[in-house]
Chain A
Amino acid sequence: MKKIVSFFLIVVSVFGILSCSKSDEHLEVDLSKYNSDITVENDIDKWLSETFVNPYNIEVIYRLERNFTNVARDISPVGLEKVEPMMNAVLKTFLQTYEEVAGSAFIKKYTPKQFVLYGSPSYNDNGSITLGTADNGRRIVLYELNSLNFNNPNQVKRPIRTIHHEFAHILNQNIVIPPSFEQISKRDYTADWTGAANTPAVAKSLGFISQYARSSFGEDFAEMVAFLLVEGQVFFDNYCATTTIEAANALREKEKLVIAYYKDYFGIDFKILQATVQKSLKDNYNAVEPEDNTQSILNLILNNKLNNIKFDPTSDIFKEHGISKDFEKVWKNYVTAVSTQDSVPLRRFPQTLSLMFSSSTRMVLRVEYLNANNVLVNADYNFDFIIDPLANEIKFSKSLPEGTTTAHNNGAVISLKPSFEKYLLPYFTNRVFTMEWLPKTISSTDPLFRTLGGFSEKGSTTNFYYGPIVLK
């Protein structure tokens, strides 16, 4: 019986084992036979493999693939001739700059692993266009590449800015933006950033680096990063210098937080990164930094750095560079009126005129003159002024009551005040001036370049007051 059972079990086992081994020839998908739709590797593919896949494990998709964008939209593929220039720009101004500053481990870890290129923009329902997106910290999609001229640095900067913008999002997806950033401009974020009300000027006056920055604090942060890196510090300083003080403060505050974010969370010196990106743009695309406009008379006054601008007709400067005819006439009339009064004891002898800036809203006009005893003394008059920084305009007005110093008292005497009120006061208060380096004939190679300046009547090239700029 046992034998039978054993035999039975052996038979069962043998058949069981044999019957369970199945022929699976046709049941699994044979991937070697599976069709891959791109069949041939061309020169572009080879270059991309060598440059991006091997060192960075980055895939570049340039042949039209709807699945990486909004399938409902009509988006054109990129032209073959744009692929290498675009990806070269990505390499030089993005990957290699981060690699240099933050190390190859950093960029290999955080860089998006897929770049998708499209030739046309992606049109949004509200009429705006999308130039780039970042998905899940892993993919950057770039649009509107067909119209790019890679010999024009300003055109190259646009997609590069997009990449740095999207990369900032990727970093934010790893470590969130500090809450304090959102607080700076919290009330001014708007979903309707494309609305007619949000002009570039309005966005600027509210302390945003671009119109798009108003859409949310996340975009604001990414726009700050992109503009600081790609447009550069000079651009940013100029931008801050030509807006309201409140806006400039907000921008500066955001800049500080961006720098701190990179330092604190990723150990990256943002300023060095910025310099590296700028150098790459210069070396590879002949990008030129904008002229530094922060050292304008406007900013010197706004930042209370200007001490005075003095007109001394005996100085060599005026002999060499001349005097504005209109101003000279006013000055001569004033001097003549004061020095040839009928009453000889009342006669005084004006020598120089100075505009002395005591704050960003106050100015003292000082006349140096020889008194009846031939002693050089001062007559002072207080002025207020209002500056329109966007238009670079200044408007003086007489400040009352007058000051009480000795010099103010001098100015109020009968021998001086009527002539001041007749000639000098109307000259400075009856017109709007623009603040400029003057005279304009001084070229940038002249040693005197940007040492002389003053105020031109708005709209006039012949009527101006100028002198050596003395800083505080």
Chain B
Amino acid sequence: MRKILIMLITAAIVVGCSKQETELIFNSTPEERMNQSLAELKSTLVNAPNGWIVGMETGTKGGYGFYMDFSEDDNVTMYSDVNEGSRSVSKNSTYRIKWGTTASLIFDSYSYISLLQDPQPSVAGGVAGKGFQSDLEFNLNRISGDSMIFSGKKYNNQLILVKASEYEKSGYLNEKFPEDIKIINEYLNNGIPVVKVGDVETEISINSDKKVFSLVGLIDNEVVGVDIKYFNIIGESIGFIKPIAYNNEYFTAIVKEESGYKLLTQSGMKFDIYKSDNYILPPAYKLGSAISKMTVPGAFDNSENLPAKTWSSSFAVDWINYNVLAKTSGYNLVTGTTTHTFVPVRNEISVTTTIFQNTSPFTATYAYKYSLDNDRGIIKFTSISAVNGNGGIIVPYMEDSFFANMKDKEFNLSYIKDEKFGNAIQFTRVDDPNYFFTWFY
């Protein structure tokens, strides 16, 4: 009995006191695993032999492009498309890798990326206290292939790093970047760049101040437009912060190839970018925006070319009447160039006409009121009124001639090219297709 008791107690003591070793579910302690993640991030950053091409979005402006080369000693060398200086002169600053909720990358001394975060408006034009709502501390979301995706800790903006090639690196270092930006900006800002997506011809444009890229076209007779924040990349290219969906395609960048600029999709398809003679969208969508100023030549300096070939004979009669009234109603006037400026917020066309008394020029100003029906592509002129004294002299002549055929009449709008005067919009009366005239842009 005693033996049994001793054995039992002994057994109880031995079993009860033996402590189990901590079992590690992931085979190492949390700090070891943190360290591992941090080391992985740092080595990925440092081991890109040619550095990184970086795109970042901001909260209140568009995207910005950088070239970054990280070194083991916590230094990072940068170029950026932020301003003229940052495109051609590199800047050294420090970075560090720190554990937050995940491995994070912090640009912890001042550099080009700080310009967008700087709360002083005098630095880059941001809002006082907020800058462009941009981050300096980024959480790592994922590393995939040659790229890394981070998101800003405060504003949650994306930071995308893609490994650069040797050729790209030397481009940044040899001041090719500013030139590339200039060239692509000039290309996209001149004329009417378009791309055909499926069967939809689409106008494209960039706002290089706001760093926003836009696509707009008519899909199933509806105007569809999308805007995306973009950033400049060496090689006359631009990248989009997030893929931009348009007519069932997802676009990620514009790249320059030998045959010209291409719009690139996520799946690797390429669409040619080319220049169009005319806008893709109907004129009604362009009045007051892309086309906000239109002129009509006057008899003073263009009598041999007027009436214009793109005017109907009925309008030509009205126009001649107007000129006769100007000449014979007491002031002996000859009309010169008329300039129409659209002011869409007031539904108004502000007009100036140079009028000549012998050879002395005077300026007459007056205004049309109009209404625009985008869906039907129709404009209606509702009134004309003088703005200055000279306007007061010639407005009655117009009311007694061509404006009598314009007032409260609906006009169809169409693009046309006049042999003599170039690009024009033709206004054709809906109720009388034989009455039409053109203004030139």
Which A residues lie at the B interface, using CB under 8 A? 4, 7-8, 11-12, 15-16, 18-20, 22-23, 25-27, 29-30, 33-35, 37-40, 42, 62-66, 73-80, 119-121, 123, 127, 146-147
Contacts and interface: CB of A to CB of B under 8 A. Distances in A.
A76 B38 contact: no
Contact of A80 (B97, B110, B119, B154): B110
A33 B31 contact: yes
A19 B21 contact: no
Nearest to B34: A35
Contact of B10 (A15, A73, A79): A15
Find the residue from B24, B34, B110, B117 having the highest chain A CB count within 10 A: B110
Contacts of B24: 26
B13 A120 contact: no
Interface of B: 2, 6, 9-10, 13-14, 16-19, 21-22, 24, 29, 31-32, 34-35, 38, 42, 72-75, 92-94, 96-99, 106-110, 114, 117-120, 123, 128-131, 133, 136-137, 154
Contacts of B74: 38-40, 42
B342 to A, nearest CB: 39
A35 B100 CA distance: 11
A119 B110 CA distance: 7
B353 to A, nearest CB: 48
A35 B38 CA distance: 8
Contacts of A23: 19, 21
A333 B439 CA distance: 80
Given A8-B9, A66-B137, A120-B119, A22 B19 contact: yes
Given A77-B107, A78-B110, A120-B123, 17 more contacts: A18-B17, A19-B13, A19-B18, A20-B17, A23-B19, A25-B21, A29-B29, A33-B32, A35-B38, A39-B74, A63-B108, A64-B136, A65-B108, A73-B119, A73-B129, A76-B136, A119-B114
A42 B94 contact: yes
B90 to A, nearest CB: 14
A25 B32 CA distance: 14
Contacts of B114: 76-77, 119
Given A33-B29, A120-B120, A12 B94 contact: no
B93 A37 contact: no
Contacts, number: 130
A420 to B, nearest CB: 61
A26 B23 CA distance: 9
Q: What is the predominant secondary structure among interface residues of chain A facing chain B?
A: loop
B108 A64 contact: yes
A26 B14 contact: no
8 contacts: A30-B31, A38-B74, A39-B96, A63-B109, A79-B93, A79-B109, A119-B110, A120-B118
Contact of A15 (B14, B19, B72, B123): B14
A3 to B, nearest CB: 11
A77 B117 CA distance: 10
A16 to B, nearest CB: 7
B14 A74 contact: no
Given A34-B31, A64-B106, A76 B119 contact: yes
B157 to A, nearest CB: 13
Contacts of B38: 35, 37
Contacts of A25: 21
A248 to B, nearest CB: 36
Contact of A74 (B32, B110, B131): B131
Nearest to A124: B129
Contacts of B92: 80
A30 B29 contact: yes
A123 to B, nearest CB: 3
A62 B109 contact: yes
B195 to A, nearest CB: 38
Contacts of A119: 110, 114, 118
B41 to A, nearest CB: 11
Nearest to A35: B35
B328 to A, nearest CB: 62
Contacts of A35: 31, 34-35, 38, 98-99
A10 to B, nearest CB: 11
B136 A77 contact: yes
A405 B35 CA distance: 98
Given A39-B96, A121-B120, A16 B73 contact: no
B19 to A, nearest CB: 5
Contacts of B16: 19
Nearest to B119: A74
A8 to B, nearest CB: 6
Contacts of B130: 74
Contacts of B93: 79-80
A30 B94 CA distance: 28
Find the residue from B16, B97, B119 having the highest chain A CB count within 10 A: B119
A63 B96 contact: yes
Nearest to B115: A76
Nearest to B14: A15
A425 to B, nearest CB: 56
Given A4-B6, A77-B136, A42 B73 contact: yes
